[in-house]
Amino acid sequence: MQPTYAKRRHRRLEEWMGRTFAGICGWLIVLITVTMIVFLAAKGIQSFTDSGLSLSDMLLSAHWDPNGTPPKYGALIFIVGSMLVSLGALLVSAPLALALAIFMNFIAPKWLVSLLKPVLELLVGIPSVVYGWLGVTLLVPLVREWFGGSGFSLLAGIIVLGMMILPTITSIAADALANVPKAYMEASYGLGSTRWQAISRVIVPAAKTGIATGVVLGLARAFGEALAVQMVIGNTMRLPSGLDSPTATLTSILTMDMANTINGTPWNNALWTLAFLLLLISFFFIAVIRLVGQRKER
Amino acid sequence: MWSKRVKFGLAALLMTGALAGCGQTDNNNSSSAGSNEGGAKKEETYSGTISLAGSTALQPLAEEAANAFMEKYPDVSITVQGGGSGTGVNQVAAGAVQIGNSDVPAAEKLDDKSKASELIDHKVAGIAFAIVVNDDVKIDNLTTEQIQGIFSGKIKNWKEVGGSDEAIHVINRPASSGTRATFEKTVMKDVKINDAIGTVQDSNGAVEQAISSTPGAVSYVAMSYLIGEKKNLKTVKINGAEPTVENIRTEKYPFWSYEYMITKGEAKDEVRAFIDFVKSEEFASTVKQMGYIPMTELE
């Protein structure tokens, strides 16, 4: 039976409304993102256009003393600190995450897997201030006992961050491993390989782009994490001399000083530049994820 | 799977937002309706809303004062936010709040002098700070020179200032902190804090936690954070003087400052009344209880 004219019109109206609503939402997100980037960029370059700071000084000098005469805005300490703590966290957590992903996919009994999955999801959901708090009360005293000093250290930051990104990397790696066709495993067994040989020589290489995506995502999260790291790393204005030495990161200097500086001052502008720098670095990581993803499609 | 969850989360968020919005309007309605009757009986009455933002050192006092003031003048509604002294000055200069709370006068924060001249500082209370150490440090007095030596990194062990053989662990506040600005101005004077030693904690609370858990640690916190029993932490006299009102008035104890409420232009009506209330004799005992120094005892 042909629908009546009114019904058809109603359907077309419905379709139009749905499409328009979805379109508006989509464009809104794009607009918000672009506005944020433009705003951050505009604020970020004020250091150089308004306050006359030099880019090379900011990126290459380790002398940060905004209260000094003359004030100095060298941010090298924070850039190096952020990199060391993030890469360190990755070194700690990537091998663990991969092992955990393999364990969950091929070794653990079903009941254990169904226990592990929610535990991992829970770990992602714990607020970073809780990680930081645990770090301060449990980890910092431990580091103090092992290495002396105050305990607030690069090492404490690395361990706390490593814990935080472990579930992210694990879930993505586990999915990647699960997506490798069963036939690969069976073929490998058929050729007479042991379980370990099949996993290490066939399954993991086949899933390596997925695993790499997880690793980069973990790195991006580590770079942007502010609170937990700030609570345990010590925030001392110096390049770390070792794992037991305190240092500062881009995010920690931002959270500490942003609220206490006045708009338009060179100090405030320099902080905006650091925020913009953080954005550029996360863009870089996203670009890497995209590249890895594209290789997978081919 | 994911998109469903996200949608559900978003929906929940919107709902809470809408509900919270409803709650707010309801409250406003009922409070203004109830207060009209109460206000009519008083000779002098104020109405309107006052918003404050800024210094976290002044925030507890400002909140307490706001509650007391709203009880007295139910037509007035006051909101107090933190954010730091810089936020306070920023927001009041931009006209976003009527009062900006700050640990330092506005002119010290603003580079732009034309902007600073629009802002008026009101001293509303004094606040004393104390040098605090972990209680394993066997010392109860330090001279200004010794403190300068410790925070500039020249003195590295407690035995150099008469304590036991134990490494000193310095804890600082970030360079933009108002507490630190006061410490530099009144105690360190011309000696520079060495930021390459020790660690930095970004709030009074975090400093307190770090001091009580780190052996040999030394730092500075506002007295308002030292009210009540504190574990593993003790205050140290400066040049033999304890941080009392008497010692501050007689200039024996150097480590204190005023707290400021900053307005854009002269304060008027309810804003004026509120600032006067914070400074008043009537509110002075509360100010004292909370660990601040009432203006009535400083002038």
Report the DSSP beta bridge partners of residue B125. Answer: B259, B294
Contact call for B199 and A231, based on CB within 8 A = no
Q: Which residues in chain B are contacts of A251 at CB distance < 8 A?
A: none
Q: Which residues in chain B are contacts of A260 at CB distance < 8 A?
A: 84-87, 174, 176-178
Q: What was the pLDDT predicted at B159? A: 93
Q: How far is B11 from chain A (nearest CA, A)?
A: 14
Q: What was the pLDDT predicted at A14? A: 85
CATH classification for the domain delimited by B128-249, as one of 3.30.70.100, 2.40.160.10, 3.40.50.360, 3.40.190.10: 3.40.190.10
Q: Is the pLDDT of residue A164 over 50?
A: yes
Do you find a cis peptide bond into A70, omega within 30 degrees of 0? yes
Q: What was the pLDDT predicted at B94? A: 86
pTM reported for the whole predicted model = 0.78
- Helices A266-297 and A76-102: crossing angle, nearest 10°? 30
Q: Which residues in chain A are contacts of B85 at CB distance < 8 A?
A: 260
Q: What was the pLDDT predicted at B269? A: 86
Q: What was the pLDDT predicted at B22? A: 44
Q: Which residues in chain A are contacts of B214 at CB distance < 8 A?
A: 144, 150-151
What chain A holds in terms of domains, given with CATH numbers, is 60-297 (1.10.3720.10)
Contact call for A236 and B200, based on CB within 8 A = yes
Q: pLDDT by residue (tens digit) across A23-42? A: 999 999 999 999 999 999 99
Q: pLDDT by residue (tens digit) across A266-291? A: 888 999 999 999 999 888 888 888 88
User: Mean pLDDT across chain A, nearest whole number?
Assistant: 89
Phi/psi of residue B230, each to 5°? Answer: -120, 135
Percentage of chain A beyond pLDDT 90 is 51
Q: Which fold has domain B45-127+258-298?
A: D-Maltodextrin-Binding Protein; domain 2 (3.40.190)
Nearest Cα to Cα of residue A172 among A110, A225, A220, A228: A220
Residue A269 · residue A66 · CB < 8 Å: no
Q: pLDDT by residue (tens digit) across A186-227? A: 899 999 989 889 999 999 999 988 898 899 889 988 988 888
Report the DSSP beta bridge partners of residue B79. Answer: B51
Contact call for B90 and A263, based on CB within 8 A = yes
Report, as ranges of residue numbers, the positions in chain B whose pLDDT lies below 70: 1-43, 111-114, 299
- Sign of the CA dihedral running A112, A96, A278, A239: positive
Q: Please list the residue range(s) of chain B that carry CATH number 3.40.190.10.
A: 45-127+258-298, 128-249
Contact call for B202 and A267, based on CB within 8 A = no
Q: Which residues in chain A are contacts of B196 at CB distance < 8 A?
A: 236-238
Task: Give the residue carrying structure tokens 């210094």.
Answer: B55
Task: Give the residue carrying structure tokens 């003359």.
Answer: A70
Residues in CB range of B15: below 8 A, 6 or more apart: none
Q: What was the pLDDT predicted at A1? A: 56
Residues in CB range of A137: below 8 A, 6 or more apart: B213
- Tell whether B206 is within 8 A of chain A (Cβ): yes
At A2, the pLDDT band (50, 70, 90 cuts) reads low
CA distance B157 to A43: 44
CA distance B170 to B186: 18
Q: How far is A3 from chain B (nearest CA, A)?
A: 32
Largest CA distance in chain B: 70
| Beta carbons within 10 angstroms of residue A275's beta carbon | 17
Q: What was the pLDDT predicted at B44? A: 73
